[in-house]
Chains A and B, each alone.
Chain A
Amino acid sequence: DAKTTQPNSMESNEEEPVHLPCNHSTISGTDYIHWYRQLPSQGPEYVIHGLTSNVNNRMASLAIAEDRKSSTLILHRATLRDAAVYYCILRDGNQFYFGTGTSLTVIP
């Protein structure tokens, strides 16, 4: 299984940008990089995904390294509602390979 490595936890001050890193050195050419987050007592929620180019949407930005062996999820202004576990996932078809995720704490 393709694997991802993320820091176990990170902290951010409210309204500051947050950069969540992910290493995926064994990524294959067909693996898409997906990010999901999970709030307490809820199922994971889609955040963003990409293949090779950087991506932006209303929730976040995804910066993908040129060799695709790492990526960074960027939350531009963290809010208290962004406190969650963030999963960086390599997706091949409809099967997800979840890592342990990064627990993000947002400090008011």
Chain B
Amino acid sequence: KAGVTQTPRYLIKTRGQQVTLSCSPISGHRSVSWYQQTPGQGLQFLFEYFSETQRNKGNFPGRFSGRQFSNSRSEMNVSTLELGDSALYLCASSLAVAGGATTEAFFGQGTRLTVV
């Protein structure tokens, strides 16, 4: 079956602009999570969506937002981009069972965002 698809794979934006990244989960997966990966901070949790509702949120400023559509596809948006937002943004999908801790998550290849 098709894996998690993230688009675009690479993106270059200018400081102050905004950006929208897209994630299509594996068919049947209703939970989508987003992560930011940088050399200095490693992998950090941004937020998780399930059935179009944000269930968990990491410690990121309000410039980072997301949403999930009825088909489970998810987008994340970053407004007023800063140089420090340059990172690999990863999304992961998983079957949403109660708690969810027993299921594996499938990650996409990520979107490499460069802010100049």
Contacts and interface: CB of A to CB of B under 8 A. Distances in A.
Interface stretch (B13-21, B67-75, B77-85, B103-111): B103-111
- If over half of B's interface residues share one DSSP class (helix, strand or loop), that class is named, otherwise mixed; here it is strand
Interface residues of B, number: 28
A93 B99 CA distance: 4
Interface string A79-108: 000000001000111111111110000000
Contacts, number: 68
Given A100-B42, A101-B42, A94 B94 contact: yes
Given A31-B101, A44-B90, A96 B109 contact: no
Interface of A: 30-32, 34, 36, 41-46, 49, 51, 87, 91-101
Interface of B: 4, 31, 33, 35, 42-45, 48, 50, 55-56, 58, 90, 92, 94, 96, 99-102, 104-110
